[in-house]
Structure 1
Amino acid sequence: MRFIKNNIIVLILMFIGILLASGVYYKRYDLTSDQRYTLSEATKNVLEKIDKPMEIDVYLEGDFPADFKQLQSETLTLLDEFKRINSNISYQLIDPVKEKISQDTLEAMGMFPSVLQVEKEGISSQIKLFPYATIKYNGYGQTVPLITRQIGINAEEQMAKSMEGLEFGFINSIDKLSNEHLKNVGILVNQAELNKLEMFSLANRIVQNYNFGPIFPKDEQSLKIQDLPTLKNFDAIIIAKPRKAFTDEEKVVIDQYIMNGGKTLWAIDQVNAEMDTLLKSSKILAYPYDLNLTDLLFSYGIRVNSSVVKDLQRPDYINLQVGSVQGNPQNRRVPWVYFPLAFPQKLSHPITKNLNPVRFEFPSPIDTLSTPGIKKTVLYQSSPYSGVQGIPSYISLEEAKISNIDSVNVNLYNKGPQILAVLLEGEFTSAYKDRIESSQVEDFKNQSKKNKMIVISDGDVARNPIIKGQPLPLGFNISTGNMDYGNEEFLINSLNYLLDDNGLMSLRNRSVELRMLDKQTIVMDKSYWQWLNLLLPLVGIFMIGGVLIFLRRKKFR
C-alpha cells in the first residue's frame, strides 16, 4: 500500500514538473500530413525583422456559417504563430456590425462585402460579411483579403484555396510594410505604350507595394547609352504594348539593363488589330507591327510570331448587334474566338495559382527556342482547339455571328495549344556579344547572372476598360458587371515573382486538404451514428464497471 502511495506522489511531482517546464520551454508538433501549421523559413525571416508594434485587425467576427468559422479559426491559429515568433505583433477580432462601422468606411479601406444566403430554423436570410484583415505598422497600413475569389469553383474549394493563401497574403503585406526601402519599378513611355489612363488600374496596384513611375529619356526622344545609369536604378521595368519600333541603340540599352540584373515584364503586340476600330467599321485589316525586337528576344530564347491565335473552345464573349426588330437593334453576347480566355496549367506556377482566367485580345503565338542555361515555364496557353491566322488578313465581326459550332470549320482549329505567356529564368547571353555595338557601352557585359523575365504576347492584357473617359478596374467584365478576369492579379504576381528575393512567392504553391464529411452519407446514416454515439459510451461504462465489480469480489472473497 505504501508502494502505491509513493508512486502516486512521484507521478504528481512529475506532473507538476512538466507544467512548470512547459511555462519556460515551448515546443509545438505539427502532425498534419500537409504541415499546414508549420511556418516556412521565409515567413520566419520576415517576422523576425519586425522591431515596432504591429496591429492586425481581423474583420471576421459574428454569427456566420461553420465554414467561415473554420476560416476564422485558421486565421487566428496563423496569427498566434506570428505572435509567438515576434511579440511585437498583436491582433484582435472585430465585428463590423456590432461596432457599427459603415459600409462606406469599410469600402474606402478596400473591403467589399460577401453576401451569404443563410437558412436557420426554416427561415432564409442574407448576411453581409467583410472577410478581410488590416495591418498597421509604422504609420502605414494594408488590407489583406481572407477569401480567394475565383470563378468556376464551389464553396468548399473556395474555402480550401482561401486557407492555402492565408500565410502568403499576410506575410506578403507584412514584408512590404516592414521594408524601409521599396523596390523601384519603371515603365517605358517613349514607344507609344499604354497611356496613363489605360494603365490607371494596374498603376494603382503597383504603387501600393513599389516605387513606380515612368522612364523618360534624357533627350525626350529615345533611349540612349547615356540613359543606362538611370535605367539601372530600377529593379524592374514594364514594357506595355509598344507601337513604335525600337532603335538599335534602345535595344542595346535594354539588353545591358538585363545583363546587369534588371527584371523585365514584356506585354507586346506583334499584330496591329484593335477592337475599337473593328466595332466602328465591322471589318479591319490586321497587319504586323514592326517593333524591331525579334533578334533581341530570339537571343533570350523566344520568338513572338506575327500571327493571331483563335480559340474555339475557350473564347470570351462580346456584345454585338445581331439584328433588329422593327428598327430596334437586337444585341446578344456572342463568342469571339480572337479573345481567348486562358486558365492556369494543371501544375500551377506560384504566379498563376488560384487566379481567374486571363483575357487576351488578338494574342500572337510564342515559340520557345532551345537556349542553354535558360529555363522556360509556360504560364498561359490557349486550349487544344486553337487556330493560328496568318497576317496580313481581314478580321470581320461576321465571324462572331456564327453561333452554331457545327457550322465552323474545325480544321481551322487543329493547331493545338499556343503559348501566350512564358517565364524565362537563368543566365541570359547578350544579343550584342561579339558585335560592334558592344564597344559603345562602358563595362559591357556579355552575360547576366541569374535573372528572370516574363514575355506576354498581348499588350492589352494590361489595359483597363474605359467608359466615358473614366477607367474601370483591370479585370472588370463590362458585359456581366463582375470582376471575371484575373489580368490584374496575374501582372501583380508576375512583378512580385520577378522581384521576390525572399522566396515568399513559393508560399502560393502551398496546398491544404480539407477533409470534409460526406453530406449524403451523413443524411443516409444519421440514425445509425446517433444511436452508436449514444449507446457506445454507455456500453463501455457498463463493461468497465462490471470488470471492476468482478475484481473487487474476487479480491475480498
Structure 2
Amino acid sequence: MKNKGISQIFLIAALTALVLILVNLLAHRHFVRLDLTEDHEFTLSESSKLVLKDLDDQVTFKLFFTKEVPSNLLPVHQAVDDLLDEFQRNSSRINIVKIDPQSSLQIEQEATALGIPPLQLNVIEKDKREVRKVYLGLAVLYADKKEILPVVADLRSLEYDLIAAILKVTALKLPKVGLLIPDANPNENPYEVIQKVLEQRMDLVSLSPNATDLEAKHLDALIIVAPKNLPDFFVKQLDGLLKNGVSLIILAGRIDVAGNLMATEYQTGLENWLSKQGIGLEAGILVEPKYPAQAAFNSGFVQYQIPYLFFVRVVSAGLNQDSTITNRLEEVVFPWATTLTINPVEHSDWKYEILAQSSDESFLQEGIPNVNPQAFQDFQFPEGSKKNIAILVHVPGNPRPARLVVVSNSIFMRSDFLKDYQHNLIFFQNLIDEVTLGDQLIGIRSRGKTNRPLVNLSSSEMATLRWIFVIMVPLLIGIFGLVLYGLRRRKLKKLNDQF
C-alpha cells in the first residue's frame, strides 16, 4: 500500500509536469495577451499590424545592448524584447539580431560608426559606487537604408518610434516639408523642438519670408510658425500650393508677451488671405475662467503657481472626438491665444472641422490686454461662449486634395512651454501626421497619453459635498456602533440562555 501511494504521487507529479510543458508549448505558438488598460497600451495597435503586414522585404533590428546592465535598466531590455517578439509574431519579415558591443572591439567600433554612443552611468551595487559603460541603442536596417535610435529611453513611445523607423527606411520617398519661422534665431530658436520633430522623419526644408519659388520646391506640406508681417508676394503663393495639393499648417497668434508680462499686438500678414479661405483670425486675447491652466510666476525669490486665465486649457469636451488628431487627447494648453471664426462664403465645397475650442464661459478681450495674473481679481466676467482655437479645412483638388490647419496660437509649441504641457507636442505631431501620412501613426502615439484633470466645482457643489462629508462620517460611525452593540447583546443573550 505504501509503495502504491508513492507510485501515485510520482505519477501525479509526472502528469503535472507534462501538462505544464504542453501548456508552455501551446502558449509559445498561440500567444494570448490579456490587456485591461483603457487604450490597450500593451497590445500592438492595428496601425502597427498593418505596417508590419505590408512589408515586402526583410527588416532587421540590430540591438546594441549591453548584456549586464544595472537593475533599473532591466525593464528597458524586457520592453524592447517583448515588443520585437510581437513584431515577429505579426510578420515573418522581421529579423532580430542582438549584440553586446562590449564583447569585442570590432562590434564597439561598428556601434560608434552607426552613431550609437556608450552611456556613462553611475551605478551603486554591493555597497560599491562605480561608473559603468552601457549601450542601449538599436539600428533598423532595410536594403541599403538604415535608421538609428542612439538611446532607447522613452518606453512610452517605444512602439511609435520603432514603427516610425520602419516607415522611414521602407518609404520610397520621405514627405518633403517646408518650415517657415520668420523670426527664428539660429543661436536661440524658441521653436527648436518643432525643427527636431520634423527632421526626425521628414525631408525638411527651412524657408525664408523672402522665398519667391515655393511651388518649385515640390513640397508635400508647408508649416508657418509665428508669422509677423509676411510680405504679400509670399502670401500670394499659398493659393497655388493649396491648388496643387500642398497642405498648410499655420500657427499664428496676434499677441506677443514679454518676460515682464507686457503685451503687444501685431499683424501676421495672413489676415486677409485667411479671410478669403473662410477663416477669421481675430484680434484680442482669449480669457478662460472655467478651465485655466496652471502657470508659474515669480515674486521676489519666491515662485508660485496659480490658475492663469490667459492660459486656455482645452479639455476633452472641447476637443473634437470624431477626429483622430484629438480624440485621444485629454487636454491641450494654449497660452495667450486669440480666436478663429468660420465664414466659408467663397468655398461651399470645402469641409471645415473644428479641432479645439474653449469652454462656454470663455470670452475675447479686445485691445491691448493687461495679462498680469491679478488682472481679474475684482472683475465681473461678461457672458461667455465657446471660441474656436484650431480648425482643419479639407480642400478638394486635382491632382490631390489638400488640408489647411489653422491654430490661433503659436506660443503653445515653444520649447519652454512644452516642458510643462507635453500634450501640446502630441497634438502638433498628430497634425503633421494628418497632413503628410494620414492617420497611420496617430493612434499609436496617442495611446496612454491620458491626463485626468480635476473637474472644477461650483461654490454650491463644494458646499453640498462638504456637508455630506460632515454628516455622513458621524452617521456611519453611529450605525457601526449600533450594529456592534446589537451583535454583543445577541451574543450575551445566547450565553445567558445556555447557562
- TM-score, normalised to structure 1, is 0.57
Q: Give the aligned partner of residue 497 of structure 2.
A: none
| Structure 2 residue corresponding to 1:320, chosen from 298, 313, 317 | 298
| Structure 1 residue corresponding to 2:257, chosen from 274, 284, 308 | 274
Amino acid at match of 2:415: N
Q: Give the aligned partner of residue 381 of structure 2.
A: 411
| Structure 2 residue corresponding to 1:86, chosen from 76, 85, 93 | 93
Matched, 1:134 2:120: no
SS of corresponding position for 1:273: strand
Q: Give the aligned partner of residue 241 of structure 1.
A: 226
SS of corresponding position for 1:250: helix
Q: What RMSD over aligned residues (CA atoms) do the two structures have, in Å?
A: 4.9
| 1:291 CA drift (Å) | 1.8
| Structure 2 residue corresponding to 1:401, chosen from 357, 374, 381 | 374
Matches within 5 A, 1:103-502: 134-137=138-141, 138=144, 140-143=146-149, 162=156, 167-179=159-171, 181-188=173-180, 192-196=182-186, 197-198=188-189, 199-216=191-208, 220=210, 223=212, 227-231=213-217, 233-247=218-232, 249-269=233-253, 271-276=254-259, 279=260, 283-284=262-263, 286-289=264-267, 291-294=269-272, 296-312=273-289, 313-321=291-299, 329-335=300-306, 336-344=308-316, 345=319, 347=321, 349-352=323-326, 357-369=331-343, 372-390=348-366, 392-397=367-372, 400-401=373-374, 407-409=377-379, 411-412=381-382, 414-427=383-396, 449-465=400-416, 475-477=418-420, 484-500=421-437
Q: Give the aligned partner of residue 533 of structure 1.
A: none
Amino acid at match of 2:149: T
- TM-score, normalised to structure 2, is 0.63
The 2-side partners of 1:453 and 1:426 are apart by 7
The 1-side partners of 2:245 and 2:332 are apart by 28
| Identical pairs, percent | 14
| 1:77 CA drift (Å) | 3.9
SS of corresponding position for 1:136: strand
SS of corresponding position for 1:185: strand
Structure 2 unaligned blocks of 5 or more: 1-21, 103-107, 121-133, 450-499
Structure 1 unaligned blocks of 5 or more: 1-18, 114-129, 150-161, 322-328, 429-446, 466-473, 478-483, 513-557
Name the structure, 1 or 2, with higher relative contact order (CA <8 Å, separation 6+). Answer: 1
SS of corresponding position for 1:85: coil
| 1:44 CA drift (Å) | 2.8
SS of corresponding position for 1:449: coil
Structure 1 461/109 Cα, relative in aligned 2: closer, same or farther at 3 Å?
farther
The 2-side partners of 1:306 and 1:238 are apart by 22
- Whether the 8 Å contact between 2:116 and 2:150 is mirrored in structure 1 is no
| 1:380 CA drift (Å) | 3.0
| 1:475 CA drift (Å) | 1.2
The 2-side partners of 1:93 and 1:37 are apart by 25
Structure 1 93/349 Cα, relative in aligned 2: closer, same or farther at 3 Å?
farther
Q: What do the CA deviations read for 1:168-208 (whole angstroms, capped 9, x no partner)?
A: 4421221113335322211236xx44443323232123212
